Amino acid sequence: MVTEAAPAASSSTPKRILVTGGAGFIGSHLTQRLLDMGHDVLVADNFYSSTRSNLYELMGQPRFELLRHDVTFPLYVEVDEIYHLACPASPIFYQRDPVQTTKTCVHGSINMLGLAKRTGAKILLASTSEVYGDPEVHPQREDYWGNVNPIGIRSCYDEGKRAAETLFFDYYRQHQLPIKVARIFNTYGPRMLADDGRVVSNFVVQALRGEPLTVFGDGSQTRSFCYVDDLVSGLISLMGTGPEVTGPVNLGNPGEFTMLELAEKVLALVDTGSELKHLPLPADDPTRRRPDIGLAQELLDWTPQIPLDEGLRKTVDYFREVVG
């Protein structure tokens, strides 16, 4: 892990940028931001856990291109930068076809790294806080190796992303490829899928429908929630650093909340009389999760700006239109 600070690249020259998984929740926000910055953006997505509707507002823009493509197969394009986000990120989707999830993490990374090597492109991996597993260190720093079950139902994603990080650093060492690795903590906001099984979208959709909010376990487990606009700023800042900064770098909001606290905040925003319904805790579900973002603050001058209450209001407003 490189810890030396590097100035962010702020070239005004437009780049041709590939975003894999660009029709997904985070990918669509990243694509829009890159277009707003004046870049040409090619999105490659197989729409397994995403939707074209996330990109409807971008259709027809001359600098935007959409390609249906599965990253487990090679892609032959010419690009300057690659944001590699392609992979189902919610348990419902990545556990539906766990073999394909692992192939997406491993084969997909090999294919995108090969593309970056051929074109000389800088490449960023959207890794995950799940590489820390059920952590025995709190908060989680980038030098913590994690506590991951290698044969559990979440392993296809947890170990898949760990293998992807390995591949990125092997390409960096063996081929001097300019890489960036971001470890993304829980992110939320507009364009999340209503049925993706993530806790924020679950709670908001259930509350809007007047259904019980499903709390797993006793609700004392914690998460840290980063609004998607802040996360996108962090990804772009990391990509803009010099070649001596590789990461991994934690990107997330260090504010820590229990599931019960999150449920109370949602119920305060959506007063439909919903109650709480407790269900058994899923296997290997982490009990505590909070990023140490000291490295991101030092290297990227990045700190999340949007507090949970404000971000939840924006998310609720979005789902009011989607759910009705």
Percent of the chain with pLDDT over 70: 96
In a domain, 92, yes or no: yes
Per-residue pLDDT reduced to its tens digit, 131-154: 999 999 999 999 999 999 999 999
In a domain, 295, yes or no: yes
| Angular region, 189: left φ>0, alpha ψ -120 to 50, beta rest | left
User: Measured between alpha carbons, how far is 324 from 111 in angstroms, rounded to an integer?
Assistant: 41
pLDDT of residue 174: 98
Name the pLDDT band for 5 (thresholds 50, 70, 90).
very low
Per-residue pLDDT reduced to its tens digit, 12-68: 689 999 999 999 999 999 999 999 999 999 999 999 988 999 999 999 899 999 999
**What's the mean per-residue pLDDT of the chain?**
92
Structure token pair of residue 26: 């985070």
The residues assigned a catalytic role are 157
In a domain, 258, yes or no: no
In a domain, 202, yes or no: no
Question: Does the pLDDT at position 7 exceed 90?
Answer: no
User: Measured between alpha carbons, how far is 219 from 313 in angstroms, rounded to an integer?
Assistant: 22
In a domain, 268, yes or no: no
In a domain, 133, yes or no: yes
Per-residue pLDDT reduced to its tens digit, 61-106: 999 999 999 999 999 999 999 999 999 887 888 888 999 999 999 9
Name residues whose C-beta falls within 8 Å of residue 170's C-beta, 6 or more positions apart in sequence: none
Q: Which of 89, 123, 114, 92 is nearest to 104 (CA)?
A: 89
In a domain, 242, yes or no: yes
β-bridge partners, 122? 81
Q: Judge whether 256 and 106 are in contact, CB under 8 Å.
A: no
Per-residue pLDDT reduced to its tens digit, 223-253: 999 999 999 999 999 999 999 999 999 999 9
Residue 70, domain CATH: 3.40.50.720
In a domain, 282, yes or no: no
User: Measured between alpha carbons, how far is 43 from 23 in angstroms, rounded to an integer?
Assistant: 7
- Angle among Cα 60, 63, 69 to the nearest 5 degrees reads 80
Name residues whose C-beta falls within 8 Å of residue 183's C-beta, 6 or more positions apart in sequence: 127, 128, 129, 131, 132, 142, 247, 248, 249, 250, 251, 291
pLDDT of residue 324: 66
If one counts the domains in the chain, the total is 1
Q: Collapse the DSSP code of 250 into the 3-class scheme (helix H, G, I; strand E, B; otherwise coil) and give the result.
A: strand
What 93-97 contacts at long range (C-beta under 8 Å, 24+ apart), as own/partner pairs, is 93/48, 93/49, 93/196, 93/197, 94/49, 94/156, 94/157, 95/153, 95/154, 95/156, 95/157
pLDDT of residue 2: 45
295: domain range? 16-188+226-253+291-302
282 or 182: whose pLDDT is higher?
A: 182
